[in-house]
A and B are shown apart, each in its own frame.
Chain A
């Protein structure tokens, strides 16, 4: 099976707290790509990061960081010192190599940052 699981339906934290969004994936392919997208209340899906299966380096971009672990098939996303503007639905997605480059989406995690 090829699928993405985001077990956290909704997370609510107070501003300035750190928060981690979990993503677990399943694929039979050895080459694949993982993505995170942000969907704020305005509705547009905003690309955050792409990670290749052969590159397990973690990535940091400002307050955002991503932890990719092939051993546990996880690609978790951490926001440090959260801000109200981080409130959105976050989607994790997978493109297996042999898929016409179609995204397999997780169900999304709604993140609420309270002031």
Chain B
């Protein structure tokens, strides 16, 4: 079974430029998450989708970040305009809730963003 796919793996941009990240979850996984992980810290949830609907985007800086999952499968995360403090690894995860209610998040390889 294929894992979570993300692209690009690395991106270097200048501040005030825009950037987009793509994520394709594990087939059949209804829930998709975007995280930001700054070096030396744990992941921080940015947004959670259930199919094509947003469950929680309370920690997404909506003045510059946006995300969509139009067909309930793959998703894009955009930053416009980027700031220096956006330099981080952006992780995508997906999960499927079993009949017993148990759920495990599986992560993609991440996109390392450097804003200069």
Q: Are B102 and A33 in contact (CB under 8 A)?
A: yes
For the complex, give the distance between the alpha carbons of A21 and B55 in Å. Answer: 33
- Does B110 have its Cβ within 8 Å of any Cβ on chain A? yes
- A residues within 8 A CB of B43? 45, 91, 103, 105
- B residues within 8 A CB of A52? 102
Chain B residues engaging chain A, CB cutoff 8 angstroms:
31, 41-43, 45, 48, 55-56, 89, 91, 93, 95, 97, 102-110, 112
- Given A33-B102, A101-B97; A44-B42 close (CB under 8 Å): no
Task: Find A44's partner among B41, B103, B104, B110 (CB 8 Å cutoff).
Answer: B110
For the complex, give the distance between the alpha carbons of A106 and B56 in Å. Answer: 20
Q: Are A95 and B103 in contact (CB under 8 A)?
A: yes
Q: Are B109 and A100 in contact (CB under 8 A)?
A: no
Closest-CB distance, A110 to chain B (whole angstroms): 9
- B residues within 8 A CB of A102? 45, 48, 56
Chain A residues engaging chain B, CB cutoff 8 angstroms:
33, 35, 37, 42-47, 50, 52, 91, 95, 100-103, 105-108
For the complex, give the distance between the alpha carbons of A103 and B95 in Å. Answer: 12
- B residues within 8 A CB of A107? 41-42
- Given A43-B112, A45-B91, A107-B41; A100-B104 close (CB under 8 Å): no
Task: Find A50's partner among B93, B102, B107 (CB 8 Å cutoff).
Answer: B102
For the complex, give the distance between the alpha carbons of A107 and B110 in Å. Answer: 19
Closest-CB distance, B37 to chain A (whole angstroms): 8
- A residues within 8 A CB of B97? 101
- B residues within 8 A CB of A35? 104
- B residues within 8 A CB of A46? 107
For the complex, give the distance between the alpha carbons of A33 and B11 in Å. Answer: 35
Looking across the interface, which residue of chain A has its beta carbon closest to that of B45? Answer: A102
- Given A100-B48, A101-B31; A43-B56 close (CB under 8 Å): no
- B residues within 8 A CB of A42? 109
- Given A43-B89, A100-B55; A105-B42 close (CB under 8 Å): yes
